[in-house]
Structure 1
Amino acid sequence: MAQNDFDTRHLETLDRDLGRFSNLETATAYVSRPLVAPGVALAFVLLAGLGAMVAFGDTSNTLIVVMAAIFGAYMALNIGANDVANNMGPAVGANALTMGGAIAIAAVFETAGALIAGGDVVGTISRGIIAPESIGTPAVFVWAMMAALLSSALWVNLATWIGAPVSTTHSVVGGVMGAGIAAAGFGAVNWPTMGTIAASWVVSPLLGGLIAAGFLWFIKARIIYRHDKIAAARVWVPVLVGIMAGAFTAYLALKGLSKVVKVSFGHSLLIGAVLGLVVWLVMIPVIRRQSRGLENRNKSLKVLFGIPLVVSAALLSFAHGANDVANAVGPLAAIVQASASGSLTEAVSIPLWVMLIGAFGLSFGLFLFGPKLIRMVGSQITKLNPMRAYCVALSAALTVIVASWLGLPVSSTHIAVGAIFGVGFFREWDAERRLRAAQGSVPERPRLGPEERSRRKLVRRSHVMTIAAAWIVTVPAAAALSAVLFLALRQIGG
């Protein structure tokens, strides 16, 4: 009997100890989970530095190139975490894609865009903002580009942390400008170029918002508010998908494939028009087949916009990878060129290993840190469904085309977020208009007071203010940080 009591007490003690170990393991896993993503990111950054050491070879400038590769990899991670959300956020917010599906599609198409068609705009980043010959020696130029890389990466990292989608292009431009001013004074900066970039702060979101709101008005007027919604959708959805196909074809020809084949603005529009016509004709029987048996409800219409929305997100990611990889590898490529040749006048070429750092950095940054901004862009500014998200995606392509025709530089971030604002504010205006019409037809219905009207707002004002403030301060903040970092780096480097 005594032995049995001893065994029982022993087993109870053992169970308690095992329970404590189990709780300890659970707590350790919970605490360490947030450290996984930074750990993987750190490993990627160090691997990029190691790859640069192997690729560049053993020279007197190897350490500088390794540092630049580490900063470039860090910047690429931040671009993936912040910028890619603009392409995938609307599709995820509209439930056309799951978070995992969006990350997988974006990773594939961002990498493909960067490797296949990327690098054509590197010259603007590395030489269009400041004149390299005005800076002086190649060593000073290298430190300036290094400061630009690090300052822009730090700023984008901060913006991602506070949940503000900012333009990574403007961050790099500000970084290059600040380092150039610190190195050679205000005369080194190409101020006309900076003026057009500042103008794009206003042009990008306004154009994006107006185009997105215009298409949402068209969808509501021609499909949603019709008595027979399905019949209207059979007529107009093929037209809308054809417009999207044509717009994205022209968009990719203008911005995504310029490295592979040179296409003029007129030719890109012609190619887009032809493909858009073909897609319209192909989609007529497809939409008719998809719409069979659907109920005459708004919910049924979402099915018809799902696939076009997914395709548009993939194409936006390809074009983004082709263009915005330069934000990470532009200064890095300039550093490699100056370190290898000692010349500031030669055209900047991009080694394959530099492009790989940019391409894979975009994908890793999206996978590790992107979901936060994807959720914010997709669902926290205003509520999106497939029709509204379609308007946002189409607006991104059309705005770039219109801006190219006008000769204006635009930001993909500002376009996408501006389009979401445009959709949300149009919904508010439309709801207010319909409410006034309903109140006019029913005189006894009480009118809403100011507090109730404020509660019914469809766009979260706090996000509007946060994002607008982040946009305004991006260039000066990145410039100021870059100037400080340049002075520090030059002191350290001698």
Structure 2
Amino acid sequence: MAKPVLDKDLKRVAGLELATHNLARSLAAPGIALVFLLAAAVWASFVVADGPTSYMVVIAAVIAGYMALNVGANDVANNMGPAVGSKALTMLGALLIAGTFEAAGALLAGGDVVSTVARDLLIGDQLDGDTFVLVMMAALLASALWVNLATIIGAPVSTTHAVVGGVVGAGIASAGIGSVAWPVVGTISLSWVVSPALGGLFAAMLLAFIRATITKRIDKISAARVWVPILVALMTGVFTMYLATKGLKRIWSPGLTMVLLLGLGFAVLGWLVAMPLIRHQSLKIENRTKHIAKLFRLPLIVAAALLSFAHGANDVANAIGPFAAIVTAVQTGHAQSADITLPLWVLLIGAIGIALGLALFGPRLIRTVGEQITKLNEIRAYCVALSAAITVLAASALGLPVSSTHIAVGAIFGVGFLREYVAIREMKGNAVPVHARFLDPATLNATPEEALSKDRQQAGRRLVRRQHVLSIAAAWVITVPASAALAALVFLVLGLLIG
């Protein structure tokens, strides 16, 4: 009798140890994040000059760090999700590459859109200096809280839209509707529709092109030797122009002619490099789509890394834009200075916070984007990454503001729905009764039309998960009004506590 009792006791001890270990792991990430926020506060207290409102900068530094963590946790998934979902990268590899390139982009080229986030959304003569600081603090905290909630429920949202909503809501709460630059807000709102539509369209077109030129050919390997280097050249040229126009403005701002020449030059270089590599790789693969997809693995990884660099350069402003405006307002005493300064220490808080947020909290959203919307392989993921860069370039040429989150998720929907469309067409054109291919008792006695209808429903569930389409779309729609309402509430609370 003693042995069974002893075994039960040992099992209880082992279960307790496992529970303790799991609890420690779950608390490790928030603990590290808290240490970072405390470090940001201490850093700001040493850097900022002593004054009656210097404590505001310290508080704002903590809020900016919190927002940077949330940008890393939510936004970066859009760049690395397809690469992880297609198994081109492991989660650890994606975190290392994304963290490195996000931080590099934020430090080397970040801050170009700070003025839009921090200054252009509000009319300066409607707010005094102290009120403006409270507005920016409320906007930053409210947008961070909203993005944090979206991350918890697994919804990829636009941090840019969250910040815009926060600034609008806090501005209205402080000085009324007249304090908001509504034409700027209206222009930004266009991206709600433009971003996912363009991303999905370009991704579907790329996938259809690859199907027509490579994967549906009888001799797939020979077709791949011709077209994959051309696609790599397209990617190289597009990303060169993308980085020159969007990702490196803080370092260098070339004219249109130079951008086009750079794109053409690097496209030729990409083709020359890809030709022998693809030919060498093609000697080791079989004439099957699954093996052809492996030829896109390295281009996909490069594309994901470059997207991360450009994302860090552009979206770091969502974390430090309002913070930079607060620092400038405290130093100058004016609500909206003509030139918002961007000290290196401010940029570092954003860069470190994004990389840390990605490492600590990013895997969940990476899996949602890469695995839970539709099934991706290297080819489809490559189409998503390349379409994101093409969409940003096209929108910039048209003068339309777009969201990288909406583009990437829209591109994933685009390739998924294209696959559904193709699958349904193939079902329609198949002469064999559709229900004969599915050993489902519910369809064995059905008419071909009834079986076809059932197969369409099965294909829809299999290729694109409708639940995620609806939940993500709902999160997009309510991001601006929700963050605006939350910012108005936070502004009133901060006014009571600080003002």
TM alignment of 1:390-401, pairs within 5 A: 390-401=382-393
Cα deviation, 1:374-414, whole Å, max 9, x if unaligned, reads 00100100000000000000000000110011110000000
Is 1:85 the counterpart of 2:77? The answer is yes
- 1:347, CA displacement in angstroms? 1.0
Question: For residue 67 of structure 1, what is the amino acid of its counterpart?
Answer: I
1:55 corresponds to:
47
Give the Cα–Cα distance (whole angstroms) in 2 for the partners of residues 94 and 265 of structure 1: 35
Separation of aligned partners in 2, 1:393 and 1:14: 57
- How much identity, in percent, do the aligned residues show? 59
Say if 2:361 is the partner of 1:369: yes
Range 258-267 or range 467-476, more displaced: 258-267
Q: Deviations over 1:412-452 (max 9, x none)?
A: 00000000000000000111112222238999993434333
The answer to whether 1:212 aligns with 2:207 is no
Within the alignment, does 1:66 sit opposite 2:58 as a pair? yes
Number of the residue aligned with 1:317? 308
Q: Corresponding residue for 1:125?
A: 117
For 2:472 and 2:56, how far apart are their aligned partners in 1?
35
1:45 aligns with 2:37: yes
Match of residue 265 from structure 2: 274
Distance in 2 between the 1:420 and 1:433 partners? 20
Q: Tell me whether 1:359 sits opposite 2:331 in the alignment.
A: no
Deviations 1:271-308 (A, max 9, x none): 11221122112211211111013211111112210000
Return 164-173 or 178-187, whichever deviates more. Answer: 178-187
What SS does structure 1 have at the residue aligned with 2:431? helix
Q: Does 1:468 align with 2:473?
A: yes
**2:428/2:452 contact within 8 Å kept:** no
Q: Report the alpha carbon displacement of residue 470 of structure 1 after superposing the two structures with TM.
A: 0.6
Judge conservation of contact 2:423–2:459 (CA < 8 Å) in 1: no
CA contact (8 A) 2:108 2:313 kept: yes
1:226 to 1:441, Cα distance in 2 relative to 1, 3 A? farther
Deviation sequence 1:19-46 (CA, Å, 0-9, x none): 7655433321122321111111111111
Q: Separation in 2 of the partners of 1:323 and 1:477? A: 23
Q: Are residue 288 (structure 1) and residue 301 (structure 2) matched?
A: no
CA distance in 2, matches of 1:394, 1:378: 15
State the one-letter code of the partner of 1:128. Answer: D
Shift of 1:112: 0.3
- Residues 182-331 of structure 1 aligned to structure 2 (within 5 Å): 182-331=173-322
**1:484 maps to amino acid:** L
TM-superposition CA deviations, 1:157-211 (whole Å, max 9, x none): 0111111100000100110111111111111111111111111110010000000
Shift of 1:15: 9.2
RMSD: 2.1
| 3-state SS of 1:95 partner | coil
Selected match of 1:452 from 439, 455, 464: 455
* SS in structure 2 at match of 1:439: coil
Q: Find the counterpart in structure 1 of residue 21 from structure 2.
A: 29
CA distance in 2 between counterparts of 1:374 and 1:491 reads 39
Rounded to whole Å, the distance in 2 between the matches of 1:381 and 1:442 is 26
Code of the residue aligned with 1:427 in structure 2: it is R
**Matched AA of 2:402:** V
Higher deviation after alignment, 79-88 or 448-457: 448-457
Are 1:146 and 2:151 counterparts? no
Q: CA deviation at 1:14?
A: 9.5
Structure-2 residue corresponding to 1:108? 100
- Return 5+ residue gaps in structure 1 as ranges: 1-8
Structure 1's 343 and 296: CA in aligned 2 closer, same or farther, altered over 3 A? same
Question: Which TM-score applies when normalising by structure 2?
Answer: 0.93
CA distance in 1, matches of 2:193, 2:341: 33
Q: 5+ unaligned residues in a row in structure 2: which ranges?
A: 438-447
The answer on whether the counterparts of 2:435 and 2:452 sit within 8 Å (CA) in structure 1 is no
CA distance in 2, matches of 1:426, 1:18: 55
Q: What is the count of residue pairs matched by the alignment?
A: 485
Partner in structure 2 of residue 414 of structure 1: 406
Q: Distance in 2 between matches of 1:19 and 1:284?
A: 60
Distance 1:191 1:442 in 2: 54
> Residues 17 and 52 of structure 1: is their aligned pair in 2 closer, same or farther, counting only changes over 3 Å?
same
SS in structure 1 at match of 2:270 = helix
Residues 65-89 of structure 1: per-residue CA shift (max 9 Å, x gap): 1110010000000000000000000
Distance 1:205 1:491, change over 3 A: same
Could you report, residue by residue, the CA deviation over 1:449-474 in whole angstroms, capped at 9, with x for unpaired residues? Answer: 43332122111000000011111111
SS in 2 for 1:120: coil
Distance between the aligned counterparts of 1:440 and 1:379, measured in 2? 32
Structure-2 change in CA distance of 1:12 and 1:286 (3 Å):
closer
Letter in 1 for 2:389: A
Question: Aligned partner of 2:321: which letter?
Answer: G
Superposition deviation, residue 346 in structure 1: 3.8
Amino acid at match of 1:212: A
1:434 alignment partner in structure 2:
426
Q: 2: distance between equivalents of 1:336 and 1:438?
A: 66
Distance 2:296 2:407 in 1: 21
| Aligned-residue offset at 1:267 | 2.6
Q: Distance in 2 between matches of 1:71 and 1:240?
A: 43
Is 1:488–2:480 an aligned residue pair?
Answer: no
Please give the secondary structure, in 2, of the residue aligned with 1:156.
helix
Distance 2:9 2:53 in 1: 57
Q: What is the distance in 2 between the residues matched to 1:266 and 1:418? A: 30
Q: 2:445 corresponds to which residue? A: none
Q: Deviations over 1:228-264 (max 9, x none)?
A: 0000000000000000000000000011000001123
Separation of aligned partners in 2, 1:113 and 1:220: 34
